[in-house]
Chain A
Amino acid sequence: MKKKTGLLLLAIFCSLLFVVAACSNDTGSKKDSGKNTEAEGSGSSGEKTLVFGRGADSIQLDPSKVTDGESLNVTIQIYDTLVKYNPEDTEVQPSLATEWNVSDDGKKWTFKLRDDVKFHDGTDFTAEDVVYNFERWQTGAEFIYYGYMFGATEDNLKGIVDKVEATGDYEVTFTLSEPNAPFLNTVAMSAFGIASPEAIEKYGEDYSKHPVGTGPFVFEEWVPDDQITLKKNEDYFGEVAKLDKVVFKTIPDNGARFMELQSGTIDVMNGLNPQDIQTVEGDDNLQIIRRPSMNVAYMAMNTDKEGPMADKKVRQAINMAVDKEQLITLFEGVGKAAKNPIPPSLWGYNDDVEDYKYDPDKAKALLAEAGYADGFDVSLYIFSNPRDYMPQPKVTAQAIQEMLKKVNINVKIVESDWDTHLEATENGKHDMAFLGWTGDNGDPDNFLYVLLDKDNAKMGSAGNIAFYKSDELHDLLKQAQVEMDQEKRSDLYKKAQELVHEDAPWLPIAHTTPPLAANKKVKNYQPHPTGGEAFNLVDIQ
């Protein structure tokens, strides 16, 4: 027994020695070691690697099955779509398809495809592959964006896309059940990236971890919750990437990610804390890259709930009681105050709408008129983690809480994580709730119809969480969907915005320009308004 104890003690002292040795080894050389590895990384082999730091890992790398930015930002590097957006806006330009036309009734779309494209697995890209992909998306509920953009339901998994046919080796024809003005813009969304049918068959269930497309980068490795590595596609049909490798590195905490950027271990990051913008601007090695705004942050008021929120006067009063100028300073220069549901960068934006002026006295008078002179209690549902359109939800909510207190409205903040928040608000549990939206395809329909039409005010799956039901608005929006002339559509949307302003189902809060922070050696990084961009033009110097 004595021996045993002795052994135990011996073991402990050995480990002590080990650690002491490690410590003394370490202290002097830490700073150097960082520099060494960095130099080795970029110097020895002459490879250019871009490390992109982000807050969350991708969910899957099959773009048709996800809606989250962190997945789509990776898949856009790997896949191409039939047509794609300009690097700076949502105008459409050729990609896999070189030209296209639409029949006069707006129901038949024909795309001519390139004949020189190969998938990363070496198979040729043909019209049949496009058909395969679309038909695959028509087979189930898991193809989220397909269902949502083309109106698929359980009974009709195809939605408005009746038929997809290969009308030649390199020609595809779509037959729609009704005209759809945003169709072309929609097929440019990165969610509709064309995947290699052979790879889908080969990997089956596991395909989402082994993506194979035609894009500028080829998938190499995925270490879950840590990093995803892509390498350059030398045979890309478009502009071949200047970078040899791209690494997407997951660092959940915004502050920690920023420190990694400062120490040079990552090159670009998203989700910068607004407080840190000044630090970036004061740092000679760093730059801010502002993403053009195509989003809106708002506070929806549940018009369906009995009580004060159902009263238009109360909703207008709340719009007057919030000092938006003060509120927007909390965005630290990352946002502009919003007065309409759609961002000013979008066509059809109505700049003639005049925002409610901050006037607590008038707000009080309106409340009194509505019978709420003594105020009332309401809930404000918010999500806990920052999102691009709202970098500080908790702080913003507390500011509104304080402002509304001055007109005797008592706000109780209910904070939950993103999924719970969505479920609660879609089921109408809230009186008021924060939410926001980033445009998918650069069409006003993608804001107004999705967020404010009565079709989307269904309990349990509402996009319209104000449960605002206006027949007048519905007519305008339906008309705009089937109208193919953009100018006429623009007029319809302008009218719609006036209506929404008057009925005030929302307190529009802000349109943000979400900042990315990058090392100055990163060149030609052109952020896209939809939130994702291919890196083939990006360079490191």
Chain B
Amino acid sequence: MLKYIIRRLAMLIPVLLGVSLITFSLIHLIPGDPARSMLGEKASQQQLELLREEMGLNDPFIVQYGRFLGHIAQGDLGTSIQKKEDIASQLMEKLPATMELAIFAMILAVIIGVLAGVVAAIKQYSWFDNLSMTGALFGVSLPIFWLGLMMIWLFSVKFNILPPSGRLTAGVELNSITNFYLLDSILTGNWTAFKDAFSHLLMPGVALATIPMAIIARMTRSSMLEVMRQDYIRTANAKGLKKGLVVFQHALKNAFLPVLTVIGLQFGLLMGGAVLTETIFSWPGVGRYVYLAVLGRDYPIVQSAILVIAVIFVLVNLLTDLLYKYIDPRIKYN
């Protein structure tokens, strides 16, 4: 097992190198001049030239790439162009926001998706099965940015019961420890902040959860159906074991394996899918950070942030694989 993990980790190195090379070269092909972004419309040609030289933008590509890798190796993700901020610390501040949103969405998706899938499978062809599977199909077909806008219109404009944007209402005090606001408010016993943070999380969470929820529900259903046709379930049923016991102790346990893979994959995708959701709900996370940086031509942010997200994505997938293999002894580590 340990050997397998090491091998998998070693395989990550070329992938991540490739990722960094692709990101770096993509970013450098982007038209637009970062020096101009910094100085704005009231700068002279000389001012621009001076700054380009200072920032090393006039060096050959390979030199710039080498410098980039060198810095990353030291844990230095660079400095943003516009605000001159340390990108690593910016990301550390914004990652919790995205993670909180993604985890919340995933919990929502897993609970509802798995339950719906199990029930649909047990009562195959029932009205519930039809309804939930139609719902799941609707779920994967919905444009989430539209869903988000519609929810804002309904819950913020029409009924005014949920806040349309942000993570916390201005004026609500919260001592941040982990920057996961729900966790922080529980740790500090600050229930006003908890309610406020939760109400901010609800709409973007649901919007983000829609697609994985649908996929998980469908995966659970088909996986359950397959397992329930297996002999040992039939035997269990024949032995007269309680139906609930059979379903949860035997069937779901085995049916859960493929579902787990889907969950891992979807969780990684959520990190990226957050771009649209975070943009609509002004959620101060990594997705919006990258999107704004793309618009602002802030090269260093874009390349570092995409790299970090890719690393997380790859690690989550690896973790899922390992977990999968750990749980299911039928798979060999070869």
Contact = CB atoms under 8 A, between A and B. Distances in A.
B43 A144 contact: yes
Interface residues of A, number: 70
Interface string A22-50: 10011001110110111001000000010
Contacts of A6: 253
A423 B169 contact: no
A205 to B, nearest CB: 8
B161 A461 contact: no
B332 interface: no
A252 interface: yes
A78 to B, nearest CB: 17
Interface string A397-423: 000000000000000000001011011
A115 B97 CA distance: 49
B45 A460 contact: yes
A12 B114 contact: yes
Interface stretch (A177-185, A260-268, A344-352, A480-488): A260-268
Contacts of B162: 30
Contacts of B296: 417, 419
A147 interface: yes
B31 interface: yes
Contacts of A15: 107, 111
A194 B46 CA distance: 26
Chain B residues touching A, majority SS: helix
Interface stretch (A81-89, A105-113, A219-227): A219-227
B121 to A, nearest CB: 16
B224 to A, nearest CB: 14
Contacts of A226: 284
A4 B110 contact: no
Interface string A147-168: 1100011100000000000000
A251 interface: yes
Nearest to A19: B107
B41 interface: yes
B43 A33 contact: no
Interface residues of B, number: 66
Interface string A60-80: 100000111000000000000
Interface stretch (B20-28, B138-146, B195-203): B195-203
Nearest to A17: B111
Contacts of A262: 160
Nearest to A258: B164
Contacts of A423: 32-33, 36
A276 B171 CA distance: 25
B312 to A, nearest CB: 20
A256 B50 CA distance: 40
Contacts of B282: 251-253, 256
A395 interface: no
B108 interface: yes
Given A16-B111, A59-B82, A224-B90, A154 B40 contact: no
Interface in B176-206: 192, 195-196, 198-199
B47 A141 contact: yes
B295 A417 contact: yes
B157 interface: yes
A461 B83 contact: no
A423 B36 CA distance: 7
B230 interface: no
B44 A153 contact: yes
A297 B48 CA distance: 26
B59 interface: no
A73 to B, nearest CB: 15
A458 B160 CA distance: 53
A280 interface: no
Contacts of B284: 225-226
B195 to A, nearest CB: 5
A322 interface: no
Contacts of A256: 152, 164-165, 281-282
B269 interface: no
A1 B83 contact: no
A321 interface: no
B166 interface: yes
A-B pairs with the 10 shortest C-beta distances? A154-B46, A141-B47, A256-B165, A41-B171, A461-B45, A67-B40, A141-B50, A148-B42, A259-B164, A419-B37
19 contacts: A1-B327, A6-B253, A9-B248, A12-B110, A12-B111, A30-B162, A33-B195, A141-B39, A145-B42, A152-B44, A251-B166, A252-B282, A253-B282, A256-B282, A259-B152, A265-B163, A419-B297, A423-B36, A461-B48
Given A417-B296, A461-B43, 19 more contacts: A1-B329, A9-B256, A33-B192, A33-B199, A49-B171, A141-B44, A142-B47, A148-B42, A148-B43, A225-B284, A247-B170, A251-B282, A265-B163, A417-B295, A420-B297, A422-B36, A423-B32, A458-B45, A463-B41
Interface of B: 31-33, 36-37, 39-51, 82-85, 90, 93-94, 107-108, 110-111, 114, 152, 156-157, 160-166, 169-172, 192, 195-196, 198-199, 248, 252-253, 256, 280-282, 284, 288-289, 292, 295-297, 326-327, 329
